[in-house]
Structure 1
Amino acid sequence: MHALVLNCTLKPSPARSNTDQLAEVVVDGLQREKVNVERIRLVAQRMLERMDAMLSETDAAGRPVAYNRVAGVVVTGNEDGAHHVISEISGALCDIGYTIPGQSWTYWNKGPGPGPSYTETAEGHEWSAKTGRAMASNLAAEARALADNPIPAPSG
């Protein structure tokens, strides 16, 4: 099994981003599930727009190329909105054809207003790590289920 982690941070390389740090929990969990992980860092917010092009691509069986692939979301920030971001990105990934398992997300959110970022405080990390480990486990389990019983090509 192979996982691709797209880090859509706003920080340029090589600076460590908050999202990088939290995604590391998920990567570690996936690796414990014997998943090979590749990481790509995108310093852009156009990832979903570019992925829309996948809608017209199909595999040899006529399925959209995102079928039988799972996806999840990691969010960090200093203000409200983590659930909104997770739902918007998950919905867009589902539209493209990805399967979104339950609890396939984790987030860290300090709350509204200014305050420290993820890398500047330990507050809330335990909960974020716990949900990140659950995310990794659920993504791997769903990917195995789809490998054993793939979604068929659309009929008609």
Structure 2
Amino acid sequence: MRALVLGCSLKSSDNESSSELLGREVLTALADHDVEGEMLRAVDLGIKFGVSTDEGDGDGWPSVREKILAAEILVIATPIWMGQPSSVTKMVLERLDAELSETDELGRPSMYGKVAAVAVVGNEDGAHHVIAEVLQALNDVGFTIPAGAGTYWVGEAMGSVDYKDAGPKPETTGATTKTLAANVAHVARLLADSPYPAS
């Protein structure tokens, strides 16, 4: 089993990212279920805006798409900005919109049989809204959403402490991340053994 975590921080890899940290914690938890994976920081990859599988002329999305196609699990790790997923997350979701018209050899949408989850960090309310928005979009393009497919940490309202700087991490976030990993790996294996029927 393979997982891809797309870190949707607004920051490049030259900067620490709380959403990437939580995404890496998801990868660590998935490893306990024999899932290998990697993390990519979307802003580093030259992904162009658009709604096709390839926007041409140096677009970084086709190589990301190949990694998504090769994985059974996709995790979106996003910060909250103004109560919303990051603009980078929205760009990634817009690029995935192209999968609505992509099918496999049996006529099934290209993302059928793949499982999705989301990891969210922020210093304001909105984690449930962000999880709902991202998971609904992923489900629309064919991903299966297991129970408990979201994990999050939200700091004090109007606070300034990031997850990466928060000191000891709350047991609730850690436990939720472990549950996410267990459920995502379980459903991914079920779908690998018994794929969706042809459309």
TM-score, length-scaled by structure 1 = 0.93
Hey, what does 2:6 align to over in structure 1?
A: 6
Hey, what does 2:108 align to over in structure 1?
A: 63
Hey, what does 1:27 align to over in structure 2?
A: 27
Q: Counterpart amino acid of 1:116?
A: V
Q: Distance in 1 between matches of 2:34 and 2:169?
A: 27
Structure ranking higher on relative contact order (CA contacts 8 Å, 6+ apart): 1
Residue identity (%):
45
Task: Give unmatched runs, 5+ long, in structure 2.
Answer: 44-87
Deviations 1:55-87 (A, max 9, x none): 111111111011000000000000000000000
Deviations 1:84-112 (A, max 9, x none): 00000000000000000010110000132
Aligned residue among 96, 118, 135 for 1:73: 118
> What is the deviation of 1:10?
1.1
Matched position secondary structure for 1:72: strand
Report whether the alignment pairs 1:51 with 2:96. Answer: yes
Report whether the alignment pairs 1:109 with 2:149. Answer: no
Report whether the alignment pairs 1:16 with 2:16. Answer: yes
Hey, what does 1:127 align to over in structure 2?
A: 172
Query: Higher mean Cα deviation, 32-41 or 134-143?
Result: 32-41
Map residues 90-101 of structure 1 onto 2, 5 A cutoff.
90-101=135-146
- For the Cα contact (< 8 Å) 1:22–1:129, is it kept in 2? no
> What is the deviation of 1:125?
2.8
Matched position secondary structure for 1:131: helix
- For the Cα contact (< 8 Å) 2:23–2:39, is it kept in 1? no
Hey, what does 1:136 align to over in structure 2?
A: 181
> What is the deviation of 1:140?
0.2
Q: How many residues get paired?
A: 154
TM-score, length-scaled by structure 2 = 0.74
- For the Cα contact (< 8 Å) 1:103–1:135, is it kept in 2? yes
What value does the CA root-mean-square deviation take over the aligned residues? Answer: 1.2
> What is the deviation of 1:53?
0.5
> What is the deviation of 1:129?
1.2
> What is the deviation of 1:115?
2.6
Q: Counterpart amino acid of 1:42?
A: A
Matched position secondary structure for 1:71: strand
Q: Counterpart amino acid of 2:192?
A: A
Report whether the alignment pairs 1:151 with 2:182. Answer: no
> What is the deviation of 1:34?
1.0
